[in-house]
Amino acid sequence: MAVLNQLVIGASIGAVLLLIALGLTFTFGQMGVINMAHGEFILAGAYTAYMMQGLVGAQAVPAALPVAFLIAGTMGLILERLVIRRFYGRPLDTLLLTFGVSLILQQLARDIFGAPNVQVTAPGWLTGGIDVAGVQLPYNRIFIMALAVGCVVAISLYLSKLSYGRRMRAVMQNRELAAVTGVATQRVDQLTFFIGSGLAGVAGVALTLIGPVGPSLGTYYIVDAFLVVVAGGLGQLRGAVIAAVALGVINSFVEFWTDASLAKVVVFAVIVAFLQFRPQGMFVLRSRALT
């Protein structure tokens, strides 16, 4: 049942990709801001889980989820107010700036927590797994998949039901028109950035279950996050979900048949080929705006 196992592995890789890309899809899609510091918000979430260990002990990982959301969200908000807002409409400049911010944050993490990796222990109920018809389902992977699904549901409810969410969609569709109808676009931008970065923090907590917690954590995931966002279409929730799962499954099967390095190459090649035919990504916002 290796093939079925790989399918499940593909889904769990997809869940990880979805978590890290979800926040980025909104900040990138909403404001056209290329936030290279997104990986460091993930890092902030991971270190939040590490610090919660001191307070809460074994249940640090689930307890850290809301805390990481707030901390990473606040960091995103500060970044937006201090830096990004001044470079609105200049994507290349924001790219460079946020890259610089990411380097600063990485070194800050090294200075505060030390360069070596730190230990985050998973709670007892997340260790081990179940075996269903020969398919391995570790509890931590199930947790990550559930978390990804939960985040997607929460965000889609937010976008459709809450007035703040609808304003976010309005600004994404047509900024000038939204402003004219009385939506405070700057406020909405701040909120979007807060939520997007907060989601990165949540992803960081989840990643402590399966990977290293060290200052370079963000660099391992940032490229994958951008791949998912670009392939799925900016600001498109459906696109992010489908792109994440598709990339996860492709990666998992190619790796199974060849090896990890080749799998990475193939995934890149697939995305490049896809973008040749559809440069705007899988799903795109259709509006009558002239720009």
Q: How far is the CB of 8 from other proteins (least distance, A)?
A: 9
Alpha carbon distance 152, 68 (integer Å) = 17
Of 107, 160, 181, 287, the residue at the interface with other proteins (CB under 8 A) is 107
Q: How far is the CB of 104 from other proteins (least distance, A)?
A: 12
Where are the strands (E) in the chain, listed by range?
Answer: 129-132, 135-138
Q: Is 213 in the site for other proteins (CB under 8 A)?
A: yes
Window contacting other proteins (CB under 8 A); options: 33-41, 42-50, 63-71, 114-122: 114-122
Q: Which residue has the tokens 């269903």?
A: 132
Q: Is 2 in the site for other proteins (CB under 8 A)?
A: yes
- Those residues whose C-beta lies under 8 Å from the C-beta of residue 126, and which sit 6 or more positions away, are 61, 139, 140, 143, 209
Q: Is 20 in the site for other proteins (CB under 8 A)?
A: no
List the end-to-end C-alpha distance of the chain, in Å, as a whole number.
51
**Residue 232 near residue 239, CB atoms below 8 Å:** yes
Q: Is 138 in the site for other proteins (CB under 8 A)?
A: yes
Q: Which of 200, 217, 202 is nearest to 41 (CA)?
A: 200
Q: Which residue has the tokens 């970044």?
A: 79
For residue 89, count CB atoms less than 10 angstroms from its CB and return exposed for 0-12, middle for 13-18, buried for 19 or more.
exposed
- CB nearer other proteins, residue 32 or residue 212: 212
Alpha carbon distance 210, 126 (integer Å) = 11
Q: Is 60 in the site for other proteins (CB under 8 A)?
A: no
Q: How far is the CB of 9 from other proteins (least distance, A)?
A: 4
DSSP label at residue 291: -
Q: Is 246 in the site for other proteins (CB under 8 A)?
A: no
- Those residues whose C-beta lies under 8 Å from the C-beta of residue 102, and which sit 6 or more positions away, are 36, 37, 39, 40, 218, 222
Q: How far is the CB of 236 from other proteins (least distance, A)?
A: 25
Pattern of binders to other proteins over 255-274, x per CB under 8 A? xx--xxx-xx----------
Q: How far is the CB of 238 from other proteins (least distance, A)?
A: 24
Window contacting other proteins (CB under 8 A); options: 66-74, 148-156, 178-186, 211-219: 211-219
Q: Is 211 in the site for other proteins (CB under 8 A)?
A: yes
Q: Is 118 in the site for other proteins (CB under 8 A)?
A: yes
Q: Is 212 in the site for other proteins (CB under 8 A)?
A: yes
Indicate the helix (H) or strand (E) that contains 146. Answer: helix 139-161
- The structure tokens listed for 42 are 């993930």
Q: Is 115 in the site for other proteins (CB under 8 A)?
A: yes
Residue 169 CB neighbour total at 10 angstroms: 15
Window contacting other proteins (CB under 8 A); options: 93-101, 138-146, 158-166, 190-198: 138-146
Judged by the rule CB under 8 A, the positions of this chain that interact with other proteins are 2, 5-6, 9, 12-13, 16, 106-107, 110, 114-121, 127-129, 136, 138-141, 209-216, 219-220, 251-252, 255-256, 259-261, 263-264
